[in-house]
Amino acid sequence: MKYNFDEIVDRRGTYTTKWDGRDWLLSLGMTERYDDDTIPLYSADMDIACAPKIVEALHAAADHRIFGYSLIPPEYKKAIIDWFKRRLDWQINEDEIVYNAGTVPALSTCVKAFTQPSDSIIVQLPAYPAFASATRNNGRKMLNNALVNNNGYYTIDFEDFEEKAKQRETTLFFLCSPHNPTGRVFTRDELKRLSDICAANGVIIVADEIHGDLIRQSETFYPIATVSESDKHIVSCTGINKTFNTAGLHCSNLVITDKALRRKYLRERGHEVPTPFAISALIAAYNESEDWLDELKVYLDGTLKWIDEFLKERMPKVKMFVPEGTYIIWMDFRGYGISDKEVHDRIYSEANVLLEDGFLFGAGGDGFQRMCIPAPRAVIKEAFERIAGAFADLG
């Protein structure tokens, strides 16, 4: 490989929540132990160095020595347009691109812009907690179209989805594709059916597609806007944050085709522009770092293969369906027949590995653990050796 993804970069002392957030994480109650020997694998950012071209672009921005107000230059939107056309055959127009500092705040902005306090929002649990919090924290009612767990492979209950979409109060659907935490990359037919149901019932789709670049080499990802009869009811969330490990630069973008929806969103969002670092990073990522991403995907696939084989050999009671997309794994520990608290204690305190408890992802998450694996493989191997040791007495 051209790039060395096995390099271990010491992130301590760089203001990272993952490695410097001991007191914060303990105060949240996520773990009862966090010390110099803890391996934190809970956060969806990478412990892998960014693509060199991005680093070079950030150095060039810093070398200018003045960091005033920025505007979005034409080459910023052109880089986005070219990327999605080249990678996914998705034609985006310049005026459809809306900058946002992050996908999570964008979810709340969408709720406030497109719904009323009496409205209902469909979420597919278990799911990344931000969908539920964006709904409930803004006083809306959440409707759970629970994903169906078929021995680790999750599918959509379309009959239930349509029933909920037809309710008069239902005005918005949060789609997560690729799905976090289950790793599903929904098929063209699944996405079209969701879109058709929503269009027929006046339901706006807010599609979190930020993991869309991070899929297995054998899979195909379809932005829902590209498979729909019309994309006028779709707001697509994209970004370089997950793909290129730049979450700290706060650079995401929405694609909103419908002018009326775009006006509503911009009115609610207010004035917001990227920093010169975010602008520089996005252009370098999309224009000059494609080969880095392609190699990273090969590396992640290799790590997933190793994990799958390790679990089958050393921890066969743990069930994991190799994710079709994302760099997240969703592990089912129910086979041990012990409480969630004991599973937690064995991993977080005894093994000293920090993951995320499944209950945080809502209904259907009990008994599960979420792990984010984009780290040097030696770190992942050490984490699994520790976890296996903590469960060795249970067979």
Phi, psi of 45 (to 5 degrees): -135, 165
- pLDDT tier for residue 1 given thresholds of 50, 70 and 90: confident
Total count of domains within the chain: 2
Q: Which residues, at least 6 apart from 342, have a Cβ–Cβ distance to it below 8 Å?
A: none
Chain mean pLDDT for the chain? 97
Establish if 155 belongs to a structural domain: yes
Mean pLDDT to the nearest integer, 79-93:
98
Mean pLDDT to the nearest integer, 162-188:
98
Which residues span the domain enclosing 379? 17-43+291-394
Tell me the pLDDT tens digit for each residue of 2-43: 999 999 999 999 999 999 999 999 999 999 999 999 999 999
Establish if 343 belongs to a structural domain: yes
Residue 84 neighbours by CB distance under 10 Å: 22
CATH number of residue 25's parent domain: 3.90.1150.10
Tell which of 288, 316, 350 closes a domain. Answer: 288
- What 14-20 contacts at long range (C-beta under 8 Å, 24+ apart), as own/partner pairs, is 16/248, 17/43, 18/42, 18/43, 18/45, 18/47
Burial class (CB in 10 A: 0-12, 13-18, 19+), 72: middle
pLDDT at 363: 97
Asked whether the beta carbons of 164 and 170 are under 8 A apart, the reply is yes
pTM higher than 0.85:
yes
Q: Within 13 Å and on the Cβ side, how many CA atoms surround 199? A: 17
Tell which of 288, 312, 328 closes a domain. Answer: 288
Is it the case that residue 307 has pLDDT exceeding 90?
Answer: yes
List the structure tokens of 88: 């996914």
Per the DSSP assignment, residues forming a β-bridge with 207 are 175, 236
Whether residue 114 is found in the same domain as residue 253: yes
Establish if 147 belongs to a structural domain: yes
Whether residue 264 is found in the same domain as residue 301: no
Whether residue 329 is found in the same domain as residue 358: yes
Whether residue 244 is found in the same domain as residue 313: no
Mean pLDDT to the nearest integer, 84-99:
98
Whether residue 174 is found in the same domain as residue 91: yes
* Distance from C-alpha of 318 to C-alpha of 333, rounded to nearest angstrom: 5
Establish if 11 belongs to a structural domain: no
Establish if 4 belongs to a structural domain: no
List the structure tokens of 21: 């957030």
Residue whose C-alpha is closest to residue 284's, from 6, 44, 60, 69: 60
- pLDDT tier for residue 106 given thresholds of 50, 70 and 90: very high
Establish if 34 belongs to a structural domain: yes
Residue whose C-alpha is closest to residue 326's, from 54, 131, 104, 46: 46
Is it the case that residue 395 has pLDDT exceeding 90?
Answer: no
Establish if 246 belongs to a structural domain: yes
* Distance from C-alpha of 86 to C-alpha of 81, rounded to nearest angstrom: 8
Mean pLDDT to the nearest integer, 136-153:
97
Mean pLDDT to the nearest integer, 89-107:
97
- pLDDT tier for residue 140 given thresholds of 50, 70 and 90: very high
Residue whose C-alpha is closest to residue 175's, from 147, 214, 137, 213: 147
Mean pLDDT to the nearest integer, 159-166:
98
Asked whether the beta carbons of 35 and 351 are under 8 A apart, the reply is no
* Distance from C-alpha of 142 to C-alpha of 169, rounded to nearest angstrom: 11
Whether residue 141 is found in the same domain as residue 267: yes
Tell which of 288, 317, 340 closes a domain. Answer: 288
